[in-house]
């Protein structure tokens, strides 16, 4: 297995298959490492509602759902929610990750709806 995506610093992320990480890449950085690092500073608890803004192909959304049992609204303007939904279904987390097509300047959510907002 390709160990470029394995890191002692990021044990949760290191359990994900490199092919899955690469297939979900939408930028230069490993979004799972960034999500794991960011989550260290958040008090994520099961059932919390998290907005994953500009989530790309929803890799970070899948990670947050699997690792912290939170509900995630995977919101992006440029990537298709249908593509994200297929990835979410393939990961088996469609019960807690909800792909949405939206512009960050005009989000379709009520004020105070989310417990946490991330943008990776």
Sequence ranges of the domains in the chain: 13-118
pLDDT in tens, 97-109: 999 999 999 999 9
> Which pLDDT belongs to residue 96?
99
CA–CA gap between residue 98 and residue 45 (Å, rounded): 18
pLDDT in tens, 30-81: 888 889 999 999 999 999 999 999 999 999 999 999 999 999 999 999 999 9
Residues β-bridged to residue 53: 75
CATH class of 13-118: alpha beta
Determine the angle formed by the axes of helices 59-68 and 81-90, rounding to 10 degrees: 40
Tell me: pLDDT of 17 over 90.
Answer: no
Tell me: pLDDT of 1 over 60.
Answer: no
Percent of the chain with pLDDT over 90: 71
From its phi and psi, is residue 97 left (phi > 0), alpha (psi between -120 and 50) or beta? beta
- Comparing CA positions, the residue from 44, 113, 107, 102 lying closest to residue 78 is 102
CA–CA gap between residue 5 and residue 25 (Å, rounded): 12
């Amino acid at each position: 297995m390709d160990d470029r995506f394995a890191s002692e610093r990021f044990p949760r992320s290191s359990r994900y298959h490199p092919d899955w990480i690469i297939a979900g890449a939408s930028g230069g950085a490993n979004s799972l490492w960034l999500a794991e690092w960011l989550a260290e500073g958040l008090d994520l608890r099961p059932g919390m509602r998290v907005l994953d803004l500009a989530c790309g192909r929803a890799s970070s959304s899948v990670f947050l759902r699997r690792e912290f049992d939170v509900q995630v609204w995977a919101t992006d303007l440029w990537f298709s929610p249908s593509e994200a939904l297929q990835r979410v279904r393939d990961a088996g987390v469609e019960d807690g990750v909800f792909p949405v097509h939206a512009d960050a300047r005009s989000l379709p959510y009520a004020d105070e709806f989310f417990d946490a907002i991330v943008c990776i």
